[in-house]
Structure 1
Amino acid sequence: MDQSRHALLEYHERSKHRVNFYAPGPGTLDWTTQPDPFRVFHGTPRVGLPLAADTLATRYNALRCGALPPARAFDLTSLAILFELSLGLSAWKSYGAQRWALRCNPSSGNLHPTESYLLCPALPGLSAGVYHYLSRDHALEHRAAVDDLRWTEAFSDSGVLVGISSIHWREAWKYGMRAWRYCQHDCGHVIAALSYAATALGWQTRLVEAAADDELSDLLGSDRSKDFVDAEAEAPDVLLWIGNPEWRPDLERMLTALDKARWYGRANQLSSGHVKWPDIDSIHRATHKARTPEPTSPNPELRPSPAKPALDLRFAQIARQRRSAVNFDGTTRIASAAFFSMLGCLLPRRDTPPWNALISPAAVHAALFVHRVDGLEPGLYMLVRNPGALPALRQSLRPEWLWKKTGPDYLPLYFLLPYDLRAVAKLICCHQDIAADACFALGMIARFEIALKQPWRYRHLFWECGILGQVLYLEAEAAGVRATGVGCFFDDEMHTLLGVKDHAWQSLYHFTVGGAVDDPRLSAFPPYEVQP
């Protein structure tokens, strides 16, 4: 444990950006080795999925208020909707001769290190087994066919499992050592995207937190070296149970059943050249997770439903129109009611997406740079997402902060400092104008002691940040503005501002919300039109 803790701290410090130097990266990009954004398993039987998302009537506001529709049956069409609105393509973009795909789940640099797998019993339109989702073609690749009663019994007709893994090289090609952090952010975005889409179909989502990484690797087939001879490895991340929240799948029975499974396919090589990043290998080993006891589900507060957003959109529309802003206009303002409503959706609420996926209490809080919110004085605010963390935050941060309660009674929002912080926000976010031109920006402050005690939870803290980001992406769209995640920030400049002096609290992700400026040079095309 001490060795893992040491490796974790070493990676965390070495992967920080600093004002006088950035974390180790590639320096220049070798475009000839840019990784293929789509993993394909050649030689697998394929199941084409229908494009059925437009048949889904669920509205986004119903989801954010915890109003689930009647649960759909688990069949090919409903699972097609699940993947289309969480991990599927949302559009193609082009500039000159260049053409690239956007997806419903965001990703640092649009590199998409995350891969997803479906594990299911026999269902209408699908035979039992393990499938890889290929977003490019909106298809399932049948990796493992399982004909064993124990596999079926493990599901008990109560739901399905979705596994998530990461290909670190996809991010490291561009971002070097810090890429591992971004892979974890992206995993969090995917967890949230799946939770929203599942809830739109009437299903609950739960993270299978007890599972060991080795078990997950066995279930997904990522440990099958002969299927990855020349291909980049996949690191197992997380397993999500989707369906009846009272049921827990029997992983041991599933693993036993897989002993006699028939596996298909070989992974494609994504890149012709690779650069070794030993620090990524080190943090991957340090955060390796063994099997742990099944955690007790907390009982999150029943909070008032957030106010209705400006745009009452169907979930299918908002999931597909989500975009990462590149620039903000620096003039757009939002009403305080809209701001409070967004923040309300960042608070854990019982059986409400995406927080229904998590079991552990909230460990990440939001330090907000408010620039252009009508009715709110510009300055620094803190959203304390777990009331029990308030005393520790007050003790750890600057003693001169005001900690003045503001906003609706149910919202644990505190005003810390009245000041125009646009220049400060820009500086902290690697001198990027987008942090100053936003309506508001924020840094996500994590209870880092959790990771020091259990190193595998380092990943979970980043996931929670990504989940918060996905909420803000959708909330921004519903408010008629736009959001973007900011992975490039000066970690310790943020800590100095807040008064953080040790590793009790650390900033792990930044985010901005504002009026987007679109690039007129780009052309957009439907996600699943016939490709040339």
Structure 2
Amino acid sequence: MSRLTQVLLEYHERSKHRVNRYAPGPGGLDWATQPDPFRVFQGTPRIALPLVADTLVTRYNDLRCGTLPPAQRFSIHTLAILFELSLGLSACKSYGAQRWSLRCNPSSGNLHPTEGYLLCPTLPGLSGGVYHYLSRDHVLERRAEVDDPRWTEAFSGGGILVGISSIHWREAWKYGMRAWRYCQHDCGHAIAAVSYAAAALGWQTRLVEAAADDALAAALGLDRREDFWAAEPEVPDALLWIGNPEAQPDPKCLRTALNKAHWYGYANQLSAGHESWPDIDSIHRATHKSRTREPSSLNPEPHLWAGTPAVDLSFARIARQRRSAMNFDGTTRITTAAFFAMLACLLVRSDTPPWNTLMSPVAVHPALLVHRVDDLEPGLYVLVRHSGALPSLKQAMRPEWLWQKIGPDYLPLYFLLPYDLRAVAKLICCHQDIAADSCFALGMLANFEIALKQPWRYRHLFWECGILGQVLYLEAEASGARATGIGCFFDDQMHAMLGIKDHAWQSLYHFTVGGAMLDQRLSTFAPYEV
């Protein structure tokens, strides 16, 4: 076993919640050091983006069926829509004297470790360069002015790049050691949010998987220590190419073109004090990614499409009304048609958001604890998102499971155990009622051997879980229900229930969908003052 693999396994085991003890955390919340949820680069030129998302007519149901509108041209107008409906604010909430923002991209604890960047050539209304998106004000902060023909040449195929980074301290302040996991979930949510918003504008999105972390840090300006001297560090996560999938620029060329760029601004300090989490630093180093080959094109299995959502909403509306449920009523039921339609959207279909971002093979499969779905027996089910995983999943789990194919022919859904699992779901999810009061809960089983062979793919497993979560968030809204991600769960309690005894498969994220109970004490306001 390599040293990096050993570090990865040690972090994975130590960051697990267990019935008799939780993963190392801060022990209490020091409100005096709560991080600012908005990174600002002081001293940068700012470009105000228009609030024009309501002019977008794309329907959500068209996107989920893979019917994209004609591609709009890249401009400050269309980029404003892209960022508003992916990383922008969706609403403001208040309770008494407290007021806080919600965003289109979900986040553990609404702490938002994820930051977004734009790399673009000169476009109508926007100069070429590197920009940071400040969601609080819906503005682009110009970080780098590039005057190099190689920059223009890199974008000659037509398109833009969106960079995603994380500030680990924002999550570690509340969640301690396990926070690194949540940052990766949130990166996956953000990837999916960008993919959906881009598709609503007629654009395809691809993860630039070959990019090395060092090249990405340089392209986003995150390696410029002089700009972060008093601020919490950001680490690079992902680079998304939006445009012609065959015309991706080479990140190394972008880095070269930035050698003589003029950079603006310095990062604000988010918190007055910090607690060091060496385990987060260790797993960050262990999963550092060098340049790799671009994966071959993904060939998804053919699946027939069936089912339409209960509510036909515009994408702009559904993106902004997405919420994380705090409590479920314990009585709401959904139809089998709605349930099967949700699961169908979790299957990979090329050129359909958000799965168009990924070229790597499917690695995550949901194990579902069904409670309240009409005409479906309560119990344990597994959605095998790729048929090649079926033998390994069967071998890893209890030999007495039924593995009975159920539902429409196009849906690879298997019935394992008829049983009322509400109490089990509650126990596994850190004794939270929301897992038992839902229509269904699920754990996302990842092919962990992928990470053991290539440690940097540990991050990608969490990203895939976050992408699945974003699909469930939007599908729940379209069905008239609501969803929430659950990062607090007893990892090995889930494995024990399934019969998993080794590291071949590991549960990395939990989720639940049901009828939300709204807190009438909260007031809701528009996110931006027009």
For the residues of structure 1 that align with 2:10 and 2:148, how far apart are their CA atoms? Answer: 45
For the pair 1:151 / 2:151, whether they are aligned, the reply is: yes
Secondary structure in 1 aligned to 2:367? strand
* Counterparts of 1:195 and 1:470, CA distance in 2: 11
Q: Secondary structure, in 3 states, of the residue corresponding to 1:506?
A: strand
Tell me the CA shift for residue 481 of structure 1: 0.4
| Alpha-carbon distance in structure 2 between the residues aligned to 1:283 and 1:402 | 38
Which residue in 2 is equivalent to 1:94?
A: 94
User: Which runs of structure 2 are paired with 1:8-19 in the superposition (5 Å)?
Assistant: 8-19=8-19
Partner in structure 2 of residue 170 of structure 1:
170
* 2:410 corresponds to 1:410: yes
Q: What do residues 83-120 of structure 1 show as CA deviations (whole Å, max 9, x unaligned)?
A: 00000000000111110000000000000000010000
Q: Contact (CA 8 Å) 1:346, 1:468: kept in 2 or not? A: yes
Q: Is the 8 A contact 1:428 1:489 kept in 2?
A: yes
Equivalent position of 1:184 in the other structure: 184
CA drift of 1:386 comes to 1.1
Q: 1:136: which partner in 2?
A: 136
**Shift, 1:301, TM fit:** 2.7
- 1:253 paired residue number: 253
What is the letter of the counterpart of residue 251 of structure 1? Answer: P
Q: 1:259 to 1:80 in 2, by over 3 A?
A: same
2:308 maps to what in 1?
308
Whether 1:112 aligns to 2:108 is no
**Residues 10-61 of structure 1: CA distance to partner in whole angstroms, max 9, x if unpaired?**
0000000000000000011000000000000000000000001000000000
Asked if 1:440 corresponds to 2:440, the answer is yes
CA distance in 1, matches of 2:387, 2:247: 29
Residue 320 of structure 2 corresponds to 320
Tell me what 1:85 maps to.
85
State the partner residue of 2:502: 502
Write out per-residue CA displacement over residues 310-331 of structure 1, whole angstroms, 9 at most, x where no aligned residue: 0000000000000000000000
- Summarize the alignment of residues 364-403 of structure 1 with structure 2, pairs less than 5 Å apart: 364-403=364-403
Identify the residue that residue 212 of structure 2 maps to in structure 1. 212
CA contact (8 A) 1:64 1:306 kept: no
The answer to whether the 8 A contact 1:147-1:261 is kept is: yes
Q: Is the 8 A contact 1:68 1:199 kept in 2?
A: yes
Q: Distance in 2 between matches of 1:302 and 1:424?
A: 34
How many residues align? The count is 530
3-state SS of 1:246 partner = helix
Q: Secondary structure, in 3 states, of the residue corresponding to 1:203?
A: coil
Partner Cα distance (2:248, 2:479) in 1: 37
Residue 25 (structure 1) aligns with? 25
Distance 1:364 1:41 in 2: 37
Q: Is residue 441–residue 512 contact of structure 2 (8 Å, CA) maintained in 1? A: yes
Deviation beyond 3 Å, 4+ runs, structure 1: none
- For residues 251 and 507 of structure 1, the distance between their equivalents in structure 2, rounded to whole angstroms, comes to 33
1:299 deviation in Å?
1.4
Q: Provide structure 1 residue ranges, at least 5 long, that are not aligned to the other structure.
A: none
1:252 Cα deviation after fit: 2.1
Q: Distance in 1 between matches of 2:256 and 2:429?
A: 48
Tell me the alpha carbon deviations over residues 207-240 of structure 1, each in whole angstroms, 9 at most, x when there is no partner.
0000000000000000000000100000100100
Question: Does structure 1 residue 424 correspond to structure 2 residue 424?
Answer: yes
Matched, 1:127 2:96: no
Cα separation, 2, equivalents of 1:529 and 1:335: 39
Percent identity between the aligned chains? 79
2:512 matched residue in structure 1: 512
Partner of 1:238: 238
Q: Is the 8 A contact 2:157 2:248 kept in 1?
A: no
How far off is 1:247 after superposition? Answer: 1.2
Letter in 1 for 2:106: P
Q: Deviations over 1:382-406 (max 9, x none)?
A: 0001110001100111000000000
CA distance in 1, matches of 2:149, 2:157: 12
C-alpha displacement of 1:158: 1.4
The alpha-carbon deviation at position 157 of structure 1 amounts to 4.4
- Asked if the contact 1:65–1:306 (Cα under 8 Å) also holds between the matched residues in 2, the reply is no
Q: TM-score under structure 2 normalisation? A: 0.99
For 1:38, the aligned partner's letter is F
For residue 337 of structure 1, what is the amino acid of its counterpart?
A
Which SS does the other structure have where 1:116 is aligned? strand
- Aligned-pair RMSD on alpha carbons? 0.7
Alignment-derived partner of residue 352 in structure 2: 352
- Is this contact kept in 2: 1:306–1:345, CA < 8 A? no
The whole-number CA distance in structure 1 between the counterparts of 2:4 and 2:252 is 27
| 8 Å Cα contact 2:216-2:251 kept in structure 1 | no
Q: Deviation of residue 245 (structure 1)?
A: 1.2
Equivalent-residue separation in structure 2 for 1:294 and 1:313 (angstroms): 36
